[in-house]
Amino acid sequence: MEGFGGPTMGSTYSIKYVRHAGMPESAQVRSEVEGILGEVDRQLSTYRNDSDIERFNALPANSCQKMPASVLELVRVGEQLSVQSEGSYDLTVEPLMNLWGFGPQGREEKVPGAAALAEVMSRVGHQHLRINGDQLCKDAAVEVDFNSIAAGYAVDTIAARLDAMGIQDYLAEVTGELKAKGRKLDGSPWRIALEEPRDDQQVAERIINVDGYGVSTSGDYRNYFLQDGRRYSHTFDARTGAPVLHSLASVTVIHPSALMADGLSTLLLILGPERAWDYAEKHEIGAFFVIRADTGFVIRTSHAFEQLSGKKLTENNTKAGVVVQAKVAYDATKG
């Protein structure tokens, strides 16, 4: 078994794979992976002024900029998810993140005034974006934030590169988003533990076997502030411009695409327990919901999740190789 990892996107990445005769050396595999991560950072990071998306974000209304094909692809994915969520999910929430103190330019975590919120909301909405050939254009001073799909995109890109290099048994993880394929060296499956949303420690709530799927968890329990007894998380509903206040604490999605698992876990978290359940059932999404209740947490799983995850396993009867944590903000200033 080969493995390596390191810092990326304000968090970490980890690659584990089974190496057979004729496969590239570990140093070459690492070089390929870190090249992909570097390119993703140069294109999508909102924490470096020279990234492709931050140069676009700095432009005024009625501007266009030539963009890499990957950026345009992610904009299209974001539009699809926004339409399907009736506008609750949106890639243009960065000004809202900053206003509430969660974004790269956020200064203080507090509830903003009505006038400030209204001004920012005039610059939020995928309808202000337009793709014209190889250019991304905007008719308002919108700012795009790929935090909800960048890591999943990176995982899919890394997985495709590993496949191309002849590596068929691997687990690729970037900031908690992951994809696993094949089996470990001893022939056992890749096991993934889904984390119970507790602030004080990590507790494995359920363990699943994964082969050929991406897994993503989004939660509201790691990045939030309290004001006047109310909890405000970094998860925003773009229709209201405010953090969600419902009882859904975390969502894990299993999907063939890590990119879609990443985006869908955020989308479902925004929708809340009832709307998210209906959405997952309608679109046959494998989803694992953790809902706050008076007595603790309640677990609910979609029919597609049960079909994909197979036999229910617990922390008491098996060990998992990776604990899936809720995604963190794409913050290159963090350790």
Q: What is the pLDDT of residues 260-284, one digit of tens each?
A: 999 999 999 999 999 999 999 999 9
Unique residue bearing structure tokens 């890394």: 158
Pair 80, 134 in one domain: yes
Domain with 109 in it: 52-138
Domain total for the chain? Answer: 2
> Residue 240 phi/psi, 5° resolution?
-105, -20
Q: Output the pLDDT for position 91.
A: 95
- For the chain, percent of residues with pLDDT exceeding 70: 82
Does residue 269 sit within a domain? yes
In this model, does residue 309 exceed pLDDT 80? no
Question: Which amino acid, residue 152?
Answer: G
Of the two residues 164 and 330, the one the predictor is more confident about is 164
Does residue 178 sit within a domain? no
For residue 309, which of 217, 218, 215 has the smallest C-alpha distance?
A: 215
Give SS3 for 169. Answer: coil
Q: Output the pLDDT for position 308.
A: 84
Pair 76, 188 in one domain: no
Does residue 111 sit within a domain? yes
Could you give the angle at the alpha carbon of 3 between the alpha carbons of 14 and 13, nearest 5°? 10
CA dist 307 and 278 (Å) reads: 17
Pair 230, 301 in one domain: yes
pLDDT tens per residue, range 75-92: 999 999 999 999 999 999
Q: How many CB atoms lie within 10 A of CB 313?
A: 18
pLDDT tens per residue, range 27-53: 999 999 999 999 999 999 988 899 999
Q: What is the mean pLDDT of residues 208-222?
A: 85
- We report the CATH number of the domain holding residue 307 as 3.10.520.10
pTM over 0.85: yes
Cβ contact 151:324 at 8 Å: no
CA dist 32 and 188 (Å) reads: 27
Does residue 243 sit within a domain? yes
Q: Output the pLDDT for position 60.
A: 97
Which of 105, 138, 171 marks a domain boundary?
138
Does residue 247 sit within a domain? yes
Pair 80, 203 in one domain: no
Of the two residues 128 and 103, the one the predictor is more confident about is 128
Question: Which range has the worst mean pLDDT, 40-54, 104-118, 134-148?
Answer: 104-118
Q: Output the pLDDT for position 66.
A: 98
CA dist 180 and 188 (Å) reads: 12
In this model, does residue 195 exceed pLDDT 80? no
Which of 138, 155, 175 marks a domain boundary?
138
Pair 109, 214 in one domain: no
Does residue 144 sit within a domain? no
314: buried, middle or exposed (CB in 10 Å: 19+, 13-18, 0-12)?
Answer: exposed
- We report the CATH number of the domain holding residue 96 as 1.10.3980.10
Q: What is the mean pLDDT of residues 102-126?
A: 80
In this model, does residue 316 exceed pLDDT 50? no
Contacts of 272 (CB under 8 A, 6+ apart): 244, 246, 247, 248
Pair 206, 99 in one domain: no
In this model, does residue 323 exceed pLDDT 90? no
